[in-house]
Structure 1
Amino acid sequence: MPGSPLLGWAAPLLVALFGGILRFVRLGEPRAVVFDETYYMKDAYSLLVHGVERSMLGDAEDPVADRRILAGNLDVFRECAQQTDCASFVAHPPLGKWMIAAGEWLFGMTPFGWRFAAALAGTLSILVMARVARRMTRSTLLGCLAGLLLALDGLHLVLSRTALLDVFLMFWVLAGFACLVADRDWARGRLTAWYAASPVTGRGPRLGTRPWRLAAGVCLGAACAVKWSGIFFLLAFAVLSVMWDMGARRAIGLRRPYRGAWAYDVPGAAGALALAPAAAYLLSWTGWFATAGGWGRDWERATSSGPLFFVFDSLRSWVRYQLDVLGYHSGLEEYHPYMSEPWQWPVLLRPVSFHFPADLPPSACGADRCAQAVLGVGTPALWYGSLLALVALVAWYVATRDWRAGAVLLAFAAGWLPWFYYAVADNRTMYLFYMIPVVPFMVLAVVLAAGLLLGRADAPPGRRAFGAAVVGAFALVVLVNYGWLHPVLTAETITHAQWSTRMLFSSWVTSAPR
């Protein structure tokens, strides 16, 4: 890596600090249960108290129960604990809710408490973004640009300030990708050292234990343990890692590079990117295995005939539970006013209104009508710019087969294209924020395109100046666009007219609020 290692860490940390300020300031606002927080913050608290998700007294969406929780009255949970059957069927694995629970344990059952882990994951993802972009471009400047652009994305900001699962999915996917990029450098370093000391023959060497690839498998298993859609990235990145190994062996001139990869690299990849993710996923269910109150647990039967039967019957019950969840997702067709289709997501045709109270008094903003909104939408300048960058990456990859362009395009495809199947085959209820795991790769597309515009360090000064002007102007436009949207991303109280001017399309709202 060129440049100063100190600067390579200090500059991304400063960018992450900036992003963290945007995410943590007024994190407890709005003081309300926002969108699907009504499910996840309650499930997280139940995990904290019982080790499994258990039903609260009454309907989980009951606004009266939400108001009691906001007032600090947690009887809705204690009352359920006194009932005989409080097991709750949940549609997602538990890791993301355990992460939310950590914030509730630290800061209490408050909006700040249940949003803390999301804000932390969002902030850390900015640091990871800057570091992985720096590694891919060998430029601290471009790495910091990547972190800054991610910090200024509206959808990333909203999900970092809301107790939903998707920001945790995004974090673990990005972390897994970053580990694989580090593993690529590590493996090529080992091959280069072997090449310098040995004749180039046969299939090449064994590379031994690869800690970065193992770490990638754990991270991608954690992504699956937040939401099942992490499996799309796991499969795509496993193929990508093996292709990188084959390319590395071919690049040093081995006579049988593919045989070497199949013999020496693929078995290790199977362990790191199949067994390790499976273990991480299973480990996230520890609370369900260790307690008696989970859905479908059948604890009395499992403990009736000795430890061997306990393990067998527990696994049988757990597999049945996973099949029940699969059936639930396959039939998820309930209408929602802010649902959207995958082809609408990249152009931001239908964002999600997370919060818009209808009872604000005129005194709240000094006008006849006031608004306080949390709109789950990306920063348009960044998203539309990323579409152009992705097109440029397609042309770049076709012309040069550059690994960076191929990796970004594959990751984008893995996070977006599978949803077309569910839209066509299942008519499934889907939302714009399902795109959040690919937002880092949209940012990487922009940064790689920026690198092409800037050129190499030895490029003509005029070329460098023109590229710097274009890239700087784009970053400034994204910053201004984000600043314009900021009030409707963070529940600032503004006039209705100010809110209305920020709605780019009429499809951004179901109807004009009264």
Structure 2
Amino acid sequence: MAVLGGVLRFTRLGEPESLIFDETYYVKDAYSLLQSGYERSWPEDANESFAAGRPQVLLNEPEYVVHPPVGKWMIALGMAFFGSDNSFGWRFGAALTGSVTVLLLGLIAARLFSSAALGGLAGLFLAVDGHHLVHSRTSLLDVFMTFWIVAAFGALLLDRRDGRLRLARALARAAGSGGLISPGSGPLLYGPWLLWRPWRIAAGVCLGLAVGTKWSALAFVAVFGLMTVLWDVSARRVAGVVRWEAALLRDGVPAFLTLIPAALITYTASWSGWLLSQDAYNRQWAAQNPDEGWGWVPAPLRSLAEYHRSAYAFHNGLTAEHSYSSSAWTWLFMGRPTSFFYEGAEKGENGCAADSCSTAITSVGNPLIWWAAALALLVVLFYWAGRRDWRAGAVLSGVAAGYLPWFAYPERTTFFFYAVSFEPFLVLALVYVLGLVLGRPTDSLQRRRTGLLIVCCFAAGVLALSAYFLPVWTAETIPYSDWRLRMWMPSWI
């Protein structure tokens, strides 16, 4: 499935050859990072220069940007290998990251549901879904943030297994030494300390890189941190630890002191280019404002803190109207997908064989995946609340962290393409329900066959719809009438 995702993401990756949508910001920033280590401003004709394969010489002035640098460095990596003067080079990082995300999600689903088949389905759905595909073929930041979020989730799954094994071994050693004679004291009172958690450190690093791409990943730090502590508390309760409620302290404090420092150190290190420079934007703020207090903090960090305050104020006050803005209420049903690129052509232009043609890149997802996943969330919610299935809770945590915070900013300008951060968890919710449809090994043969038939038909429908929508995801030139047929809702135009 990862190979399939890679083929879809790399085929004709360089088309269109011009900067599209917000690439006009992030590709230029990535090129600036390669040249200077921090973002710098550009001349007005920079877009045309990129399209012509001739990036202009940077202006001397530093540029004010409001997103951290990790995602832009990942774009810059492709430019370093394949050149800054071609669209394949500046989109390579996104395509590679999107393909690896497909692989990661498949592995995560296989472990989460203990089924290679369900892992394959999860990889398939993410590989062929248009929303993630468009992000993987465009140099925006969200696909990089999504990758680090998925990687952090996978690391926490491994940490859950590792932590339970460590707990079982510690209790077994105590039992072997006679420590479990009294269930109200000794090892069974609170359970042992589990301090060394390398997978949790890895998760913290991944979360730091996610926040270092876009600040909206901060919600995942909070939610995933709570999730991993609750997993540990549940493990102690199942193991028979008497005071498992008090074990919140024994698990919560080490988790905080592992995840948060790892994420914070990683995030701060991602600003190294800015910190090591002398003339990046706002770099000398502390020297220019020596009486602002906090003198014990090193000047570069005080300048960085002021930069963050300014950027937060910008994000919080972002209320400008945009023709493709959409409320978070509409995202699950794709009420207003974002048009990344559109170009019309008359007969004979750009290979147009009809009276008029359209070349488009629209971030509409596969309707069967998205609408089925929206309904699947209800089933997953029932299994979490009604049956205490930890897997359902894990899936819902990812959706909640990526989706619910946007409702706190009803006046802010938001876009449907932000939903890519929690799309992998929507896919996991869908696969969770399809696993229920498949049934259990103990079910009758007829029940299993019926479930398999339903799942196969669903997967075939997903593939058919993806093939149908592929032209408006990958900038293929098609007749205008065919483009209109793919715009199922007026709000999609």
TM-score (norm 2): 0.94
Deviation per CA, 1:33-72: give whole Å up to 9, x if none. Answer: 11010000000000010000011123xxxxx321112212
Give unpaired runs (5+ residues) of structure 1.
Answer: 1-14, 59-63, 510-514
Letter in 2 for 1:179: A
Where 1:183 maps in the other structure, the secondary structure is helix
Equivalent residue letter for 2:282: G
Query: 1:359, CA displacement in angstroms?
Result: 4.8
- The 5-angstrom pairing of residues 205-244 of structure 1 reads 205-244=192-231
Say yes or no: does 1:320 pair with 2:306: yes
Q: Distance in 2 between matches of 1:149 and 1:502?
A: 19
For residues 360 and 488 of structure 1, the distance between their equivalents in structure 2, rounded to whole angstroms, comes to 18
Counterpart of 1:159 in structure 2 is 135
Which residue in the other structure is 2:113 paired with?
137
Structure 2 residue aligned with 1:508: 492
CA contact (8 A) 2:286 2:299 kept: no
Is the contact between residue 52 and residue 293 of structure 1 (CA under 8 Å) also seen in structure 2? no
- Say whether 1:194 aligns with 2:178: no
Indicate whether 1:42 and 2:28 are aligned.
yes
Question: Are the structure 2 counterparts of residues 97 and 361 from structure 1 closer, same or farther at C-alpha, using a change threshold of 3 Å?
Answer: farther
Q: Partner amino acid for 1:483?
A: A
CA shift, 1:267, in A, is 2.5
**Partner residue, 2:65:** 90
1:128 to 98, 104, 117: 104
Residues 477-488 of structure 1: pairs in structure 2 closer than 5 A: 477-488=461-472
Aligned partners of 1:402, 1:293: CA distance in 2, in Å? 53
Distance 2:373 2:456 in 1: 15
- SS of the residue corresponding to residue 255 of structure 1 reads coil
The answer to which of 195-204 and 109-118 deviates more is: 195-204
1:116 deviation in Å?
0.5
Selected match of 2:152 from 176, 179, 190: 176
Equivalent pair of 2:345/2:356 in contact (CA under 8 Å): no
Structure 1 counterpart SS, 2:20? coil
User: Matched residues in 2 for 1:113 and 1:311: separation?
Assistant: 40
| 1:203 equivalent in structure 2 | 190
Q: Work out the CA distance in 2 between the residues paired with 1:399 and 1:460.
A: 25
Residue in structure 1 matched with residue 83 of structure 2 by the alignment: 108
Change (3 A) 1:196 1:486: same
Q: Could you say which residue in structure 1 is the equivalent of 2:47?
A: 66
Q: CA 1:106 to 1:299, structure 2 compared with 1: closer, same or farther past 3 Å?
A: farther
What percent identity do the matched residue pairs reach? 44
Instruction: Report the CA distance shift for 1:370/1:359 in structure 2 as closer, same or farther (over 3 A).
Output: closer
Instruction: Determine if contact 2:122/2:427 at 8 Å carries over to the other structure.
Output: yes
Instruction: Give, in angstroms, the shift of residue 195 of structure 1.
Output: 3.1
Contact 1:214–1:272, Cα closer than 8 Å, also in 2:
yes
Q: Distance in 2 between matches of 1:214 and 1:458?
A: 39
Per-residue displacement from partner, 1:227-262 (whole Å, max 9, x unpaired)? 000001110000001101100000010111232341
The 8 Å contact of residues 347 and 354 in structure 2, kept in 1 or not, is answered as no
| Secondary structure, counterpart of 2:81 in structure 1 | helix
Q: Which range moved further: 414-423 or 122-131?
A: 414-423
What's the CA shift for 1:205?
1.4
CA apart distance, 1:217: 0.7
- For 2:39, what is the secondary structure of its paired residue? coil
Please tell me whether the aligned partners of residues 346 and 355 of structure 2 are also in contact (alpha carbons under 8 angstroms). Answer: no
2:185 aligns with none
Answer yes or no: is 1:403 the counterpart of 2:390.
yes
Q: Measure, in 2, the Cα distance between the counterparts of 1:40 and 1:274.
A: 28
Runs of 5+ in structure 2 lacking a partner?
A: 181-187
- Residue matched to 2:364: 377
- CA offsets, 1:174-203, max 9 Å, x none? 111111111111111112223333234221
Deviation sequence 1:126-152 (CA, Å, 0-9, x none): 111011101111111111111111111
Distance in 1 between residues matched to 2:353 and 2:235, nearest whole Å: 65
Give the Cα–Cα distance (whole angstroms) in 1 for the partners of residues 286 and 232 of structure 2: 49
Residues 488 and 192 of structure 1, relative CA distance in 2, 3 Å threshold: same
Number of aligned pairs? 476
- Aligned counterpart for 2:354 among listed residues 357, 367, 378: 367
Counterpart of 2:413 in structure 1 is 429
Secondary structure of the residue aligned to 1:373 is strand
Task: Provide the rounded CA distance (Å) in 1 between the counterparts of 2:161 and 2:104.
Answer: 16
Query: What code does the residue aligned with 1:275 have?
Result: P
Candidates 259, 267, 272, aligned match of 1:273? 259
Distance 1:74 1:112 in 2: 14
SS, match of residue 358 in structure 2: strand
Q: Deviation per CA, 1:420-477, whole angstroms, max 9, x where unpaired?
A: 1111xxx111100110011100000011111111122222111111111111111111
Aligned: 1:490 with 2:466: no
- Provide the residue aligned with 2:278 in structure 1: 292
Deviation at 1:383, TM superposition (A): 0.3
Q: 2:13 aligns with which of 27, 35, 41?
A: 27
Deviation at 1:301, TM superposition (A): 3.8
Find the residue that maps to 2:332 and give its secondary structure.
coil
The 2-side partners of 1:65 and 1:360 are apart by: 28
Give the conservation status (yes or no) of the 8 Å contact 2:68–2:212: yes
Q: Is the 8 A contact 1:249 1:261 kept in 2?
A: no
> 1:4 is matched with which residue?
none
Q: Which moved more, 1:208-217 or 1:356-365?
A: 356-365
TM-score using structure 1 length? 0.90
TM-aligned CA deviation for residue 483 of structure 1: 0.7
* Cα separation, 2, equivalents of 1:401 and 1:501: 44
Distance 2:308 2:345 in 1: 42
Match of residue 183 from structure 2:
none
Q: In structure 1, the residue corresponding to 2:191 is in which secondary structure?
A: coil
**C-alpha distance in 2, partners of 1:496/1:48?**
40
User: CA-atom RMSD, angstroms?
Assistant: 1.7
